[in-house]
């Protein structure tokens, strides 16, 4: 449902894969979540330019944003639980990422720095008033500054009467991820009155793999791990998953949803052994560890 897939050309939508996804969810009684309406990546360049190739004006880009969001959300109105309305709008220090959405719509004015987020949430809510609306980002569980930046976004939206139901912490973790830092993000974000979702959970087994979710840096090659299949690595992976899920259970009144970023290792976007099922779809020690935590609760 990303922009480049569902809306590849100005006057052309491609519903084939998104419709198939929705049909699959409904057939199998699964809960569909839309991802994502406004993001700086995987969006066609034409979105931000006019016919002459010049950057759009603020009003023109807002009109283009509204048309896209309204069309996509309306198509699945009443069938989808919620949308990641805005994805990855923050720098690591919690300031706004200078994306085309931000640069054009804010016009460089401090008082307009959240405008592209505000408008995206307004348009999505207008198209389907009953669905949940989320802000989604990575490294919120590892960077207090970035987490605090997300808190400011939530507070600003709420101050303007804009609906926001939850914040998605992508949670692309590693074997050394700090449980204290993860807990800080859950407590700090939920204190604003929103739910907290783990939206893209996986754990990199390579010790020094790059952090975050920048697809230009993080990929299967940069995170490959020759020790992934070893008993030691698999036990450490299981222990880390158990530690994280104990925290989810501790905060189960505010952690509303946990979504893994992939079903099994063979289809993961990163290398190593990041998920609960191996390359042959067989459950790993990590799977058993997660089940055990839930059963204890």
Q: Mind telling me the catalytic residues?
A: 88, 200
Question: Can you tell me whether residue 50 is helix, strand or coil?
Answer: coil
Handedness of CA 211, 4, 62, 49 (dihedral sign): positive
DSSP string of 252-275? TTTEEEEEES-SSGGG-SSSSS-S
For 204, phi then psi, to 5°, come to -75, 130
Please report which helix (H) or strand (E) contains residue 180, including its range. helix 179-190
CB distance 138 to 213 below 8 Å:
yes
The pairing of beta strand 172-174 with beta strand 166-169: unpaired
Please report which helix (H) or strand (E) contains residue 133, including its range. strand 132-137
Question: Can you tell me whether residue 166 is helix, strand or coil?
Answer: strand
As a whole number of angstroms, the distance between CA 5 and CA 3 comes to 5
Instruction: Report DSSP state, residue 112.
Output: G
**CB-CB neighbours of 119 under 10 Å:** 20
Question: Directed axis angle between helix 144-159 and helix 179-190, to 10°?
Answer: 10
**CB-CB neighbours of 10 under 10 Å:** 11
- Nearest Cα to Cα of residue 115 among 156, 146, 147, 152: 156
């Amino acid at each position: 449902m990303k922009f480049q897939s569902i809306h590849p050309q100005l006057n052309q939508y491609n519903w084939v894969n998104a419709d198939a996804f929705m049909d699959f969810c409904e057939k199998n009684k699964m809960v569909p979540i839309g991802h994502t309406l406004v993001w700086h990546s995987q969006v066609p360049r034409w979105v931000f330019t006019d016919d002459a190739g010049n950057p759009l004006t603020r009003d023109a880009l807002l009109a283009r944003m509204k048309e896209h969001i309204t069309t996509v959300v309306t198509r699945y109105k009443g069938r989808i639980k919620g949308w990641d309305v805005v994805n990855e709008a923050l720098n690591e220090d919690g300031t706004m990422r200078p994306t085309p959405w931000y640069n054009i719509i804010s016009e460089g004015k401090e008082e307009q720095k959240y405008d592209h987020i505000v408008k995206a949430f307004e348009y999505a809510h207008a198209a389907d008033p009953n669905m949940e609306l989320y802000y989604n980002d990575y490294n919120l569980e590892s960077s207090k500054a970035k987490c605090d930046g997300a808190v400011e976004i939530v507070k600003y939206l709420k101050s303007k009467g804009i609906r926001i139901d939850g914040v998605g912490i992508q949670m692309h973790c590693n074997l050394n991820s700090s449980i204290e830092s993860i807990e800080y993000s859950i407590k700090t974000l939920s204190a604003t009155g929103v739910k907290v979702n783990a939206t893209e959970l996986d754990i990199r087994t390579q010790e020094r793999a790059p952090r975050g979710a920048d697809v230009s840096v993080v990929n299967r090659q940069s995170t490959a791990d020759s020790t992934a299949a070893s008993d030691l690595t698999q036990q450490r992976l299981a222990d880390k998953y158990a530690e994280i899920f104990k925290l989810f259970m501790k905060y189960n009144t505010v952690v509303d949803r946990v979504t893994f970023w992939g079903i099994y290792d063979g289809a993961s976007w990163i290398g190593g052994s990041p998920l609960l099922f191996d390359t042959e779809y067989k459950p790993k020690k990590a799977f058993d560890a997660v089940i055990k935590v839930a059963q204890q609760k």
